[in-house]
Amino acid sequence: MAVFSSNLGYPRIGERREWKKTLESFWNGAISETELYDTMKRLRLRHVQKQMKKGIDLIPVGDFSLYDHMLDMAFMFGYIPSRFQHMSRGSLETYFAMARGAKHQSALEMTKWFNTNYHYIVPELENTTPILVENRLLHLYEEAKQELNIDTKPVMLGPITFLLLSKKYDHNDFKTHLSSLIPIYIQVLKELYEAGVSWVQIDEPILVQDIDETIIRFFHDVYDAFHAALPSLHIILQTYYESISHYKEIVSLPVAGIGLDFVHDEGINVSHMRKWGFPDDKVLAAGIIDGRNVWKSSLEAKANFIDHLAHYIDVDRLIIQPSCSLLHVPVTVQHEQSLPPLLKEALAFADEKLDEVYELTQYVKGDRTIDDFRHYDRHYQSFVMSSSRNVQSVQEALANIETYPTKRIDYSKRKHDHKKRWNLPVLPTTTIGSFPQTKEIRQARLKWKKGEWTEEHYQSFIRKEIKNWIHIQEKLDIDVLVHGEFERTDMVEFFGEKLTGIACTTNGWVQSYGSRCVRPPIIFGDVAFNKPMTVDETAYAQTLTHKPVKGMLTGPVTILNWSFVRNDIDRFHVLRQLALAIREEVLALEKNGIGMIQVDEPALREGLPLKRSKRTRYLEAAVEAFRLATCSVQPETQIHTHMCYSQFEDIIEAIDALDADVISIESSRSHGELVHSFEIYRYEREIGLGVYDIHSPRIPTIEEVGENIERALQVLDHHQFWVNPDCGLKTRNAEEAIAALKVMVEAAKIYRQKLVTKTVSQ
Cα–Cα distances (Å) from 647 to 46, 184, 300, 613, 676, in that order, read: 38, 30, 41, 17, 11
Three-state SS string over 554-620 comes to ECHHHHHHCCEECCCCCHHHHHHHHHHHHHHHHHHHHHCCCCEEEEECCCCCCCCCCCHHHHHHHHH
Phi, psi of 52 (to 5 degrees): -60, -45
Which residue in the list 119, 264, 483, 695 is annotated as catalytic? 695
Burial class (CB in 10 A: 0-12, 13-18, 19+), 425: exposed
For 153-243, list the strands marked E by DSSP: 153-157, 199-203, 234-238
Residue 374 host element (H or E): helix 370-384
CB neighbours of residue 316 within 10 Å: 11
Instruction: Kindly report the length of the chain.
Output: 762
Instruction: Find out whether 47 and 351 touch, Cβ atoms under 8 Å.
Output: no
Instruction: Find out whether 111 and 120 touch, Cβ atoms under 8 Å.
Output: yes
Angstrom distance (rounded) from CA 446 to CA 444: 5
How wide is the angle at C-alpha 303 spanned by C-alphas 300 and 304, nearest 5°? 90
Active-site residue 308, yes or no?
no
Angstrom distance (rounded) from CA 257 to CA 287: 13
For 452-513, give the DSSP string.
SS-HHHHHHHHHHHHHHHHHHHHHHT-SBB--B-TT-SSTTHHHHTTSEEEE--SS--EEEE
CB neighbours of residue 392 within 10 Å: 9
Instruction: Find out whether 664 and 688 touch, Cβ atoms under 8 Å.
Output: yes
CB neighbours of residue 313 within 10 Å: 18
How wide is the angle at C-alpha 559 spanned by C-alphas 553 and 562, nearest 5°? 130
Angstrom distance (rounded) from CA 121 to CA 157: 13
Residue 120 host element (H or E): strand 119-121
Task: Write out the binding residues for Zn(2+).
Answer: 642, 644, 666, 727
Q: Which of 301, 263, 328, 390 is nearest to 518 (CA)?
A: 328
Angstrom distance (rounded) from CA 760 to CA 436: 41
Three-state SS string over 643-658 comes to EECCCHHHCHHHHHHH
Angstrom distance (rounded) from CA 733 to CA 637: 32
Beta bridge partners of 235: 200
Cα–Cα distances (Å) from 137 to 152, 155, 340, 386, 730, in that order, read: 10, 8, 42, 47, 35
Q: Could you tell me whether strands 60-61 and 153-157 are parallel, antiparallel, or unpaired per DSSP bridges?
A: parallel
Task: Write out the binding residues for 5-methyltetrahydropteroyltri-L-glutamate.
Answer: 17-20, 112, 117, 516-517, 562, 606
Task: Write out the binding residues.
Answer: 17-20, 112, 117, 432-434, 485, 516-517, 562, 600, 606, 642, 644, 666, 727
Give the helix ranges, DSSP H, for 195-338.
213-229, 247-251, 268-276, 299-309
Task: Write out the binding residues for L-methionine.
Answer: 432-434, 485, 600
Burial class (CB in 10 A: 0-12, 13-18, 19+), 228: exposed
Angstrom distance (rounded) from CA 334 to CA 472: 43
Angstrom distance (rounded) from CA 377 to CA 434: 42
SS3 label, residue 110: strand
* Maximum CA extent, the chain: 86
Beta bridge partners of 62: none
Active site residues: 695
